[in-house]
Structures are given as structure tokens and as C-alpha cells.
Amino acid sequence: MIDIRLVRDDRGAVTAALGRRGVAAVEVERVAELDADHRARLARRETLRAEVKALSRQVGDARRSGDEDRARELSDASRRLGEEERAAGAAADAVARELTTALLHLPNLPADDAPDGAGPDDNVILRTWWPGKDGGVPEPAPERHQRVPHWEIGEELGILDLARGARMAGSMFPLYRGMGARLLRALTSFALERHADGYEEIRPPTLVLTETMTSTGHLPKFSDEAYHVERDDLWAIPTAEVPLTSMHRGEILAEADLPVRLTAVTQCFRREAGAAGRDTRGLLRVHEFEKVELFAYTTPEQAPSAHADIVARAEGILQALGLHYRVLDLCTGDLGTSSARTFDLEVYAPGCDRWLEVSSVSWFRDYQARRAQVRYRPSGGGGPRLVHTVNGSALAWARIWAALVETGRQPDGSVALPDCLAPWLGGDTVLVAR
């Protein structure tokens, strides 16, 4: 969440910044009013508490002087004030809960250099890459044999069985078979090995507590998009960002240990409640998928380079896989709730004739760390400060799988896979019907 002191000290700047994201000024005004009300009620409680303490001392003085009538009178007054103090405290706590709820629903302030815009159509394409571009090869046009969607290719080769997946779990839960399943495993192994030079591999739980989901900003706003195990009050993670953000929740790190760089492969679960009827064929939009995530706790000064490193690693994997992709700078109207700046990577899938988002690399400033209370102690002294968090996918595999089989489809119907995956495919980089 944003720092309430920003609202107190420069409400106009906060209103203007959030206005770039389409947040109405009244929402910021509501937070400011709740904050003022909360502080006034706290002040009233403290005043009453001081008066109760003063009366208690007077009661003692009266009893020591033998004036029992005066002592009883002061004691009755103290009890009445004590009841007022407790009522004032309860009222202050109620307003504090309202304030916290309002702050939890306010999005992050966008970075100054995030482009303005109302939605996806206003995102800025920063660059596009395809195999051979650096050597002057023109942007490719799909061949006729590549214009077959991956769900048809998967069925032809026996490597994707959507019907049986739906029979077991419902629609949008894919089932991969044979070399289709092995391709997923190869992609994960390939990515984790590439990240091993700078990121510690973590295997976090995929079911987490409510406060863990709240720390990243996924709750309370996106509860309808998440799978909730009500009996145990646990949530299936939509991304490894969720457990990694809370890995050091409530801790104080040493500045000398930053940045802390982590990577994890997890299953990810998303209800896609707001996408009913859209992009539901094949692997374009699924409820469960596998993803390798990159994450970093940083100082504010380290955040830009950490952000750039994750983008570069995601691009490096796409280039190694030989996939045609582009990088988008998300406008303020398309930023995720918690993000200050985001770059999306999209691959081109020729069979679908679609650009598919496969990574979203975001810098959150201290928005998530304030929720999770992850801080660091500056090497030069002074009180603990909130870390910044950065994360991104490198990469999410369902759509990469789709793009690979469509891009690699040959005239005879087989699929040629990138040589970089050969060590994890037993040296066999051609998919054929079996």
C-alpha cells in the first residue's frame, strides 16, 4: 500500500499521480478524511487516558490524607472516564480498520516515466525481435504450414489432450502427454539452469495464508480471481511472486545482503473470472499453468538494475528459443494494482495469429514491502527502511509451449524444437505423431 504520510503531506500530488491511473480524487479524499478522523480519535483516547491517570493519582492522594469521600468521588469519575477511554479506543480501532481497507484498495503510484494511457491500446511497443534481425533479416511472415493452431497440432501429434483434461477438472485445465509433457519439463530445467548464476532457487508452497496473498496486493481486490480453500483459509497461488514476497515478511535484512535474488518454479492457479468466453481455446487462457519466476528484494537505488536484469533474462530465453517477440511499456491505465512500472513481453503465435503475453516484469517500489513489513537496516546507520520489490516471469510456459509448436511446425506436420532444449529432451528435438 502507499505511505499514508504521502497523503498527509502532499495530497494534491497523490491525487494527480493516481489520477493518471483513473483513480477518482474522491477516493484519495476519503483516505485523507479517514486518516484525520483516526488521528483525532487517537488524540481523544490519549487525552482521556491522561485524565484517568491523573485522577488515579488524586484518588491515592485523597486516601493517604484520609478523605474517603473525596477518594470515592474521584474514583467514580475515573471509572466514567475509563469507560469513555475504552469507547474512544474502540472507535479509533474501527476507523483504523476502515482506513486500512481504503488503503488496501488504492493502487500504487505510477512511475514518472510510465506512459500515460487509458488501457492496453495505449501501451508503447519498445522493441520487437525475431531470429536473424541483427543480421538484417526482415521481419518474418508465417508460412502456410505454421498457420495451424497449437490445439490442432497437439491433437495431431498426441501431445495435448484438452478433452481428457476437461473431463478430469473442467474446461481450461490442460493435459499434456508424452513429449508434450516432457517439453514443459525441458523448458523449466532450461530456464532454471540459466538463472542459477544469480538467483537462489526456492521451492515455495503453492497454498498460502490470507496475509501472504494480501502482501502482494492480490487481496482483497482480486479475491474473485483466486482459488480459495475455505475450510483451511488457504489460497492457491496465482504466481510464485506471492510466496516469494512474503519469504522475509516481518524481517529486517542487512543492506549488505541486498539485493536478494530468488527464482522459483510453481504451478499457478487463476480463475480468470473476468474472461468468460474470451480466448478460451487451447492454451491461450488456462486455470492452471507452470511458470518460472524471478524475484528480488532491493534498496531503492538497486531496483532499476534489478528490473532491467529480469527483463534481459526473459528476453534472453525468448531469443534462445528463437521466438518472435516484442516488449511493451505498460501505460498507467494498464498497470497492475501494485506496480509502479511494468514491461510486458509478448510472443507471436503464427497458428493463432496472436501476440501472447508470456511475461510481466514489474517494479513495485515499497508498495508490497509495506504490506509485508520487509525492511533493511542501512549500512550507514539510521532506522530500518522498507525494501523495494521487483519480479517477473522467465517464463510462463503454457503460451510459450503454444508458440513453440506453432512456430516450429514443418510442412510434413512434425514440429522442430530449438536445439537449446536438446539436453532435456534426450537429444530428440523433433515432435512427430507417435
Indicate the pTM of the whole model: 0.93
H helices within 24-67, ranges in order? 25-64
Distance of CA 55 to the CA centre of its chain: 52
- pLDDT higher than threshold 90 for residue 273: no
Q: Do 199 and 150 have their domain in common?
A: yes
Confidence of residue 279 (pLDDT cuts 50, 70, 90): confident
Last residue of a domain, one of 74, 105, 136: 105
Q: Are residues 88 and 211 in the same domain?
A: no
Residues 50 and 127 in one domain: no
Who contacts 390 (Cβ-Cβ below 8 Å, separation ≥6)? 295, 296, 298, 303, 306, 307, 310, 361, 362, 363, 364
Cβ atoms of residues 135 and 141 within 8 Å? no
What phi, psi does 409 have (nearest 5°)? -65, 135
Residues 52 and 200 in one domain: no
Strand order in the sheet with 252-254: 252-254, 375-377, 385-386
- DSSP 8-state symbol, 285: S
Q: Is residue 72 part of a domain?
A: yes
203 pLDDT higher than 80: yes
306 and 230 in one domain? Answer: yes
Note whether 356 and 284 are within 8 A (CB). yes
Q: Do residue 225 and residue 335 come from a single domain?
A: yes
Checking phi first, is residue 279 left (phi over 0); if not, alpha (psi -120 to 50) or beta? left
Residues 136 and 97 in one domain: no
Q: Is residue 110 part of a domain?
A: no
Residue 157 lies inside a defined structural domain of this protein: yes
Do 51 and 188 belong to one domain?
no
Query: 314, 361 in Cβ contact below 8 A?
Result: yes
Please write the tens of the pLDDT for every residue from 5-43.
999 999 999 999 999 999 999 999 999 999 999 999 999
Q: In the listed set 105, 128, 156, which residue is the last one of a domain according to the structure?
A: 105
- C-alpha distance from residue 233 to each of 42, 177, 199, 212, 237 (Å): 32, 33, 31, 12, 13
- Asked if 397 contacts 188 with a C-beta cutoff of 8 angstroms, the reply is yes
**CATH classification at residue 64:** 1.10.287.40
In a domain, 227, yes or no: yes
Residue 272: the pLDDT is: 85
pLDDT per residue as tens digits for the range 57-78: 999 999 999 999 999 999 999 9
Summarised one tens digit per residue, pLDDT across range 85-118 is: 999 999 999 999 999 999 999 999 999 999 999 9
Question: 434: pLDDT confidence band, cut at 50, 70 and 90?
Answer: confident
Query: Looking at residues 226-235, what average pLDDT do you find?
Result: 97
Whether residue 241 is predicted with pLDDT greater than 90 in this model: the reply is yes
What pLDDT is stored for residue 354 in this prediction?
A: 96
pLDDT of residue 141: 95
The percentage of residues in the chain with a pLDDT greater than 90, rounded to a whole number, is: 97
Query: Is 410 in the same domain as 319?
Result: yes
CB–CB of 163/156 below 8 Å?
A: no
Residue 115 within a domain: no
Do 304 and 333 belong to one domain?
yes
The pLDDT of residue 277 is: 59
Taking 80 as the threshold, does the pLDDT of residue 278 lie above it? Answer: no
Going by pLDDT thresholds of 50, 70 and 90, the confidence category of residue 386 is very high
Query: What pLDDT is stored for residue 84 in this prediction?
Result: 95
Q: Which pLDDT does position 428 carry in this prediction?
A: 93
For 211, other C-beta atoms within 10 Å of its C-beta total: 13
Q: Is residue 216 part of a domain?
A: yes
328 with 407, same domain? yes
Number of domains in the chain: 2
Q: Which residue has the cell 474502540?
A: 90
- Give the per-residue pLDDT at 274: 59
Confidence of residue 221 (pLDDT cuts 50, 70, 90): confident
CATH code of the domain covering residue 247:
3.30.930.10
Distance CA 119, CA 275 (A): 16
From 60, 75, 105, the end of a domain falls on 105
In a domain, 114, yes or no: no
Residues 47-57, mean pLDDT to the nearest whole number: 94
For 360-385, the pLDDT digits (tens) are: 999 999 999 999 999 999 999 999 99
pLDDT at 407: 98
* Res 399: pLDDT: 98
Query: Facing residues of 262 across strands?
Result: 200, 295
- Which whole-number Å values give the CA distances from 189 to 387, 396, 401, 408, 428, in the listed order? 30, 13, 14, 20, 16
Give me the domain span that covers residue 14.
4-105
325 phi, psi to nearest 5 deg: -145, 170
- Per-residue pLDDT of 318-347, as tens digits, reads 999 999 999 999 999 999 999 999 999 999
pLDDT for the residue numbered 280? 79
In a domain, 397, yes or no: yes
Judged by average pLDDT, the poorest of 56-60, 117-121, 154-158, 191-195 is: 56-60
Torsions phi, psi of 282, nearest 5?
Answer: 55, -130
| pLDDT digits 0-9 by tens, 167-183 | 999 999 999 999 999 99
Tell me the average pLDDT of the chain. 96
Does residue 67 share a domain with residue 162?
no
